[in-house]
Structure 1
């Protein structure tokens, strides 16, 4: 089984991409804070939760008409929500996972019967769950930063405005470069198991029958059904291409931030470990730094596990000196037999999507 592993960098020059419920060191009752990790009294690392990042990607993918046509409906039941949980039909159920456990009470069953939004929903005989083949890490600032507070007021003028003091408010923001790890289990994309282990009971009796009727390949030894390779490739390629278009984030009206990757490093490996995580960090001044020695040592140590070239996307204008150092190190590694692709992140991710659909992807997905 193979995995697509690596990380993305997102440049946030003056941003508040993921807000906290309670603001640290708040000076006002209505102050909006940012999510951060406090390591010491003075060191604070802003972060974007993995849930927020996954939401950005889901929302971005929904702009793709083909992906949208294969997006699962969501059903609500009191304080519980779940998708249709049909990974054969819905791409997001396949790649992002699901848990569908309907309420057992009579009132819940009656409510489902009267819910018009469930028309056409897949029946269910028992609870089904699927762990996500696509995994992400929390996006964390490469270095500790100063959290800035911006003071503002609601003080518009107009005939309906009453006399009196303006209404003050405050919010926090920062300047940071975020790094987040990514991993996509290529072998599990389009592969649906029916074992009783938690997270692996992807299919119940109803869904197994749908798999049989749909002509999916049955793998009795694995207790699984698998989609044809071309269908699996199209799904993972659409997800990878979606990363290139990534959009989202809080406070965009005040701190518009392009959250599409400023840089991305990815490689297909034989296992789920992420050998590239130490290639980019920060120096003593908190500035982004490419650790070329870590890159060389990593490639030499893990080269026997690599199944693809290194896919390196790095936007021109984003820490150009580090991009040049990275290119020089990659050229040295090429002389040792390690190939790479270096270009704009959007170009590289789309190239990777094409490779997943092509002959190379055929080997990675088997």
Structure 2
């Protein structure tokens, strides 16, 4: 995300400075006394900074009773995902590791050398024994939730190791395994910690949509990166409507067929937008709300950036750093998040091309989001309470 693109936008530069030098203290490190006492937990937080800076920042501002749990939940699933992403592992080894990974969290001293497609992921797995020790220090109720999600995710990933994402049904199922389950797991963790009500445990459909919205946004944005790594996550049922080969889009990025396919994929992601808002409306803890809301507003802004944007096929498209800072600082209430969704839906509407086969569907989707937002802004919500 380039800072230069925000220089001519004073509100974004102000947000960047506010985020950097304090503001709402979003980036402050969580001063949990256990971290000072526990070497393994300290390692986990240090590693969290390396594998995901943005996620590390929002985890640290969670209430103390849940931040360590979510940190470990993320690292465990990051370790599992690193196994899936390593294209040098044989199918047999990968499938076995994915199916058994959840059991390793109870196997003191277990670690894995030279696995992962990035240095920081290889380092995580090479020091995974520290993650295990920190995990085993958690309350059993949290261990059980994390283990259940890890087992389901690993099994689902293993199912897709040797099979392509052919249909939209495959696509939704894959995204459920790798992201929807994360949303469901977080709901269960929030309810178990009592920072949110037990009602959240019954909202699996909405929690799944939270995960799918983020995952599908990343899959659309990461076309070039994934193609370079010989990975295809766009469903064959969709992209073959527009090109005989997946590589064809990067060879002809400005063709109407390429952009139509891109917009088709964005439409599919946008179908989850109102579910995400419905989920966020349920949350009552301000810190939990911000933790969930920040990735969602970043996702809707990313979709607005990539929609009908031929650069997706030739480079890694990201939103401006200043805009990202502005979104992070604004995502503190449901009213503000709804305003952001409405603004981004309107931005997409302005980019809808005439005569494309799925332009009418895009218009219907953004009109649905806008109507939802108009109604939501007319309602009065109870302000979240600070834990």
Common fold, TM-score beyond 0.5? no
As a proportion of its length, which structure holds more helix?
2
Higher relative contact order (CA 8 A, sep 6+): 1
As a proportion of its length, which structure holds more strand?
1
- Which structure has the greater CA radius of gyration? 1
TM-score, length basis structure 2: 0.29
